[in-house]
Chain A
Amino acid sequence: MTEPKLSIVDLTKRYAAGLEPAVDRLNMEVEEGHLVALLGPSGCGKTTTLRMVAGLMDPTAGSIVVDGKEITHTPVNKRGMGMVFQSYALFPHMNVEQNVAFGLEMRQTPKSEQKARVAAALDMVQLGHLGKRQTKELSGGQQQRIALARALVVEPTLLLLDEPLSNLDAKLRETMRTEIRSIQQRTRATTLFVTHDQDEALDMADRIAVMNGGLIEQFGSPTDVYERPRTHFVANFIGQANFLTARVGAETGGASLAGESYYKVDVEGLGQFGAVGAAGLSGSTHEMVIRPHRLTVALRPGADQTPVAGTIERVSYTGDALAVAVRVGDQQLQAQLLTSSGDLPRTGDAAYLSWAPEDAYLLPATTSAERLAA
């Protein structure tokens, strides 16, 4: 493997002695050209991490290495990164071109080259015609693009985006998502992207670092963190999930995904099922995760599988889909089915739930539930 573009080693930030650290011995490696999303709830340390990488904040401990060079204590203006702020932070006393040219000016790029590069950057964000405008005359989406052009025109070592979409309305956010992603892929700028929106992260990122309480709970591709969450927190934060407590029995063999085993599990109150999980889980109790839309809901008992019988307690209709809450014993399971023109289940109906063993995933950590409770 080639050298990572960015490595973060044991990075720690403590705002005051005695306080819980905001970022706690964080480790991460980012490959050249990747877009990495730092995803987590507010206060999880994602913005603090980004600001330390940017050089806007001094870490308490640990180091940041870019292109093999340690830059932990390099001042912000010597880091050569490009940052897009949540509020865009466009200079109000400069017009669009002057804003975009600012970084080149600081680098004392020759005037003629500045002009060409500013024009190219503005064309890239499709605002070439607005160069002479004042920034306050622009819409939120346009300001956002100017901020992106201003950060990219200097060909930054890293592109840092701090919740860049959170000030836009829902429709525009979707458009900008695609646009930022495509610009990022064209420029191959290695990018760190802070967001609290899981959809954004799943849609845009090559890798997602799910953060919680100053720690990275899981670092992996969008499919990894969604399909194979390592902890309760990750499974719960990304998408919706049903959690069941399962006593893991013997491995059943059969075709396993990369390094994973099939198990027979005993789910409290529901019976015996098949499930997948990491190797070596037999004999202990684990949390089992099933995504609502992976549950098959039948209104009559089926023949081929062993369904779980329950009663529908709540139905919510969103047009495309129907979310149902099914009471099974003392638990409630969330399920989802696509609507059709046929009969739709109603509250009080009997429902039979079934799932494929591949869709029941055993969380590897036995401790995550306790950690969350603490």
Chain B
Amino acid sequence: MTLLQTPIAAEKRTDRDEGLLEKATERRNRRTYLALLLPGLLGLLVSFVFPLAYMIRMSFNKGAPDGVIVETFTLDTYIQPLTDPYYWRVTLDTFQMGVTVGILCVLVSYPVALFLARSTSKYRGLLIAIAIAPLLTSAVVRTYGWMVILGTNGLINSSLEGLGLIDTPLKLTNNMTGVTIGLVEIFMPYAILAMISGFGRLSPQLEEAAGSLGASKFKVFTRVTLPLSLPGLLTAFLLVFVLAISTFITPRLLGGGSVQVLATEIYDQTTGLLNWPFAAALSVILLVLFGLIIAVYQRLTKKIGG
């Protein structure tokens, strides 16, 4: 009996040893992953999590007119924007601007992105580079460019006047129209990039298949191309929306002070009135807006199977 048992016992031990060894390797692997993640996590903690926590804490403080911050815990900073119709107006305008810019930007970028995604030309890489090249110049420079084009004596107005099409210059700057035009153009490269990467399920073969089954060019577009590009369109919209409602330069410069959105309001509160708690509260409201649209986005993508 003992003769028989010994080898079995030995076998058992090796099994357990192997199990232990596996676990040890696994633990070591996990430690390696953590070590690799650490720099990134630390960076995020320092540059994102702490400031965000600080900002949220700040929003419950009390701001005094001379810029003194009174350390306390109050909801006054929230009650004011939530009860004052002016801030409702600003929040609503911000949201509306985000949606308008998002939709227009997606509309004008879609044909470009579709062309680039489907192109088989050897110049495709170059064309994509050209499409996103505007990112090389800062939004400030491009905003000034739009001021020159859209201004009262700008390119568009002087051309139209020269052609005798209008008598009085169109009002294209210092209002929401100008801001919208500027933002749509400035965000186009982002929208195009987001769309190209979101068009993964599109393929010329699917369009050919639809055609061979009797679908006209229009039907191919509405039944195959458009549904399959929806995930890309949604992503682009989300990206542009988020960028638009958080941008400050273009609404300030092209809006010329007559366009008030949350971002410009926060800037004024921070640098002009030195009311940091109030600016922090407005920032939190902006964050909630982000959260809302992202929730809607996730609902939609689940629905369309992106």
Contact: A102 with B208, CB < 8 Å? no
Shortest Cβ gap from B121 to chain A (Å): 14
Which of A56, A87, A93, A102 meets B213, CB within 8 Å?
A102
Are the C-beta atoms of A150 and B305 separated by less than 8 Å?
no
B222 to chain A, nearest CB (A): 12
> Are the CB atoms of A77 and B208 closer together than 8 Å?
no
* B216 contacts A77, C-beta separation under 8 Å: yes
Interface status of B224 (Cβ within 8 A of chain A) = yes
B211 at the interface (CB under 8 A from A): yes
Is B97 in the interface zone, CB < 8 Å from A? no
Q: How many residues of B contact A (CB 8 A)?
A: 21
Tell me, yes or no, whether B219 is within 8 Å of chain A by CB.
yes
User: Which residue of chain B is the closest to A84 with respect to CB atoms?
Assistant: B209
- For residue B149, CB closer than 8 A to chain A, the reply is no
| Residues of A contacting B210 in the complex (Cβ-Cβ under 8 angstroms) | 91, 102
Instruction: Please state if B206 and A91 are interface contacts (CB–CB under 8 Å).
Output: yes
Q: How far is the CA of A106 from the CA of B212 in the complex (A)?
A: 10
The answer to whether A80 and B228 have CB atoms under 8 Å apart is no
Give a binary string over A195-210; 1 marks a CB under 8 Å from any B CB, 0 the rest: 0000000000000000
B214 and A89 within 8 A (CB): no
- Do B215 and A89 touch (CB < 8 A)? no
In chain B, what residue has the closest Cβ to A92?
Answer: B201
Interface members, chain A 275-321 (any B CB < 8 Å): none
Closest residue on chain A to residue B227 by CB atoms: A93
* CB of B137 closer than 8 Å to a CB of A: no
Q: Is the CB of A56 within 8 A of B227?
A: no
Say yes or no: A154 contacts B213, CB within 8 Å: yes
For A77, give its contact among B201, B215, B224, B227 (CB under 8 Å).
B215
Contact of B219 among A91, A92, A106 (CB under 8 A): A106
Whether the pair A76, B212 counts as a contact (CB closer than 8 A) is yes
B197 contacts the other chain (Cβ, under 8 Å)? no
Bound: A263/B227 CA distance, A = 68
Say which residue of B212, B217, B228, B304 sits within 8 Å of A83 (CB atoms).
B212
Docked complex Cα distance between A55 and B223 (Å) = 20
Q: Taking the complex as formed, is B32 at the interface, i.e. its CB lies under 8 A from any CB of chain A?
A: no
Closest Cβ of chain B: how far from A153's Cβ, in Å? 9
Knowing A77-B216, A106-B219, the reply to whether A89 touches B211 (Cβ < 8 A) is no
Q: CB-CB contacts of A74-95 with B at 8 A, as 1s and 0s?
A: 0111111111010101111100
In the complex, whether B138 has a CB less than 8 A from a CB of chain A is: no
* Residues of chain A in range 43-62 having any CB-CB distance to chain B below 8 Å: 54-56
Which residue in B212, B216, B228 is a CB contact (below 8 Å) of A92?
B228
- Mask, B212-253, CB within 8 Å of A = 1, is 111111010001100110000000000000000000000000
Task: State the CA gap A346–B61 with chains docked (Å).
Answer: 97
> At the interface, yes or no: B168 with Cβ under 8 Å from chain A?
no
Q: Which residues of A are found within 8 Å of B214, using beta-carbon distances? A: 77-78, 80, 103, 106-107, 154
List residues of chain A with CB within 8 A of the CB of B215: 77, 102, 106
CA distance A107 to B209 in the complex (A): 15
Cβ-defined contact, A83 with B227, below 8 A: no
Indicate if B83 sits at the interface (CB-CB under 8 A).
Answer: no
Q: Does B203 contact A (CB under 8 A)?
A: yes
Please list the residues of chain A having a beta carbon within 8 angstroms of any beta carbon in chain B: 54-56, 75-83, 85, 87, 89-93, 102-103, 106-107, 150-151, 154, 160
